[in-house]
Chain A
């Protein structure tokens, strides 16, 4: 049921969920997860995971309109969920549902 190309790790699932209704940048995702009471995603795993999600086609990155940071010249990137990302989230939810509803076959009948 859960196709291998739609597979999500727990961190990736939380990141995708954070992007469901609006585009966000990295720090915003982290704050959103933290303020909602979830297990905090560290810097060291957030950005590599975002890159992996982008490579799989679950999110799309776009440059923000803010000016580059004054010390490093680094620009901000916003991430937006794609149709495939939504599908992956949906597949995960369906998996949870079907696990909850699963019944053992009656024995000895």
Chain B
């Protein structure tokens, strides 16, 4: 029995020996467990002594295993919190900026395709959209792509604001990215708002009427703003043309410009993570170009 127990103890020591730090800390425990084995045999019947001995060995192994496990977890967590977590946020922000630019591109392309057939006039708008959806080849795909890209842009830019807030760093490039991100979010919302009346059906008409009256209730400037937006007191062809111009010229161009600026700022921001010689450097690049051309 004792020989068997000692063999077990040898196996335990080999197991714990694989973790040098834990072995350094706790080997005297194992030594005393083995050292007290003769005392156990003298005091208890052999079967009881074996049970006590094995229980001590088992507890020793479990305790050391938990200590090793917790230490490993702590180390992982520490490495996550120091550098990786901010780096992950930085990469996520850049990826989201790429996604926003892609969505802008999709919305712009499909928007231009829609503009080939869309007619911004009160009696023609709804008809032309129906025609695009039904008569033009892959018209419904283009329309729904335009919707998905527009809504997706709002979602992505809102998530981006949260990500950038968590990974905030008070550098010029971050600040540019942050401000352009906020403006991009506002532009995306503005695009979706000006698109309400463009489909010219019952829901959009009445919704726009309510929202115009909300705009009108802003103190001091409300009335004037409402007239500027709707091009008069009622909602008619002029309103539609105003919204169309805002949607497809002012806000769309602003959104594309902002998303390019946003991505550019974040790419510049990423340079801080790179080693000095790997960073993007305009003068170095032009120097190399000049050397090549000469």
B35 x A69 contact (CB < 8 A):
yes
**How many interface residues does B have (CB within 8 Å)?**
23
Contacts of B29 in A (CB 8 A): 26, 43, 47
Q: Would you give the 0/1 interface string for B20-49, flagging 1 where the beta carbon is closer than 8 Å to chain A?
A: 000001111111111110000000000000
B13 x A26 contact (CB < 8 A):
no
Candidate in B6, B10, B29 with the most chain A CB atoms within 10 angstroms:
B29
**How many interface residues does A have (CB within 8 Å)?**
18
B35 x A27 contact (CB < 8 A):
yes
A43 x B59 contact (CB < 8 A):
yes
A26 x B10 contact (CB < 8 A):
no
Q: Would you give the 0/1 interface string for A43-54, flagging 1 where the beta carbon is closer than 8 Å to chain B?
A: 110011001000
Stretch of A4-12, A72-80, A100-108 contacting B (4+ beta carbons < 8 Å): A72-80
Provide the bound-state CA to CA distance between A47 and B32, in Å: 10
Provide the bound-state CA to CA distance between A26 and B56, in Å: 14
Interface of A is mostly: mixed
B59 x A74 contact (CB < 8 A):
no
Q: Which residue of B lies closest to A64 (CB)?
A: B28
Given known A43-B59, A48-B63, A51-B25, contact A72–B32 (CB-CB < 8 A): no
Contacts of A44 in B (CB 8 A): 56, 59, 63
Q: Which residue of A lies closest to B7 (CB)?
A: A71
B34 x A71 contact (CB < 8 A):
yes
A72 x B31 contact (CB < 8 A):
yes
Of B6, B12, B31, B56, the residue contacting A75 (CB under 8 A) is B31
Of A48, A71, A74, the residue contacting B27 (CB under 8 A) is A74
Given known A25-B32, A27-B35, contact A74–B25 (CB-CB < 8 A): no
Of A47, A61, A72, the residue contacting B13 (CB under 8 A) is A72
A72 x B28 contact (CB < 8 A):
no
Provide the bound-state CA to CA distance between A72 and B37, in Å: 13
Provide the bound-state CA to CA distance between A51 and B236, in Å: 82
Measured CB to CB, the closest approach of chain A to B41, in angstroms, equals 15
Provide the bound-state CA to CA distance between A47 and B34, in Å: 14
Provide the bound-state CA to CA distance between A47 and B28, in Å: 9
Provide the bound-state CA to CA distance between A3 and B217, in Å: 64
Provide the bound-state CA to CA distance between A30 and B34, in Å: 15
B10 x A71 contact (CB < 8 A):
yes
Candidate in A25, A27, A30, A76 with the most chain B CB atoms within 10 angstroms:
A27
Q: Tell me, yes or no, whether B9 is within 8 Å of chain A by CB.
A: yes
Q: Using CB atoms and an 8 Å cutoff, list the residues of chain B in contact with chain A.
A: 6-7, 9-10, 12-13, 17, 25-36, 56, 59-60, 63
Q: List 27 A-B contacts (CB under 8 A).
A: A25-B32, A26-B32, A27-B35, A27-B36, A43-B29, A44-B56, A47-B28, A47-B29, A61-B28, A69-B35, A71-B6, A71-B10, A71-B34, A72-B27, A72-B31, A72-B34, A73-B13, A73-B17, A73-B27, A74-B13, A74-B27, A74-B31, A74-B34, A75-B31, A76-B31, A76-B32, A77-B28
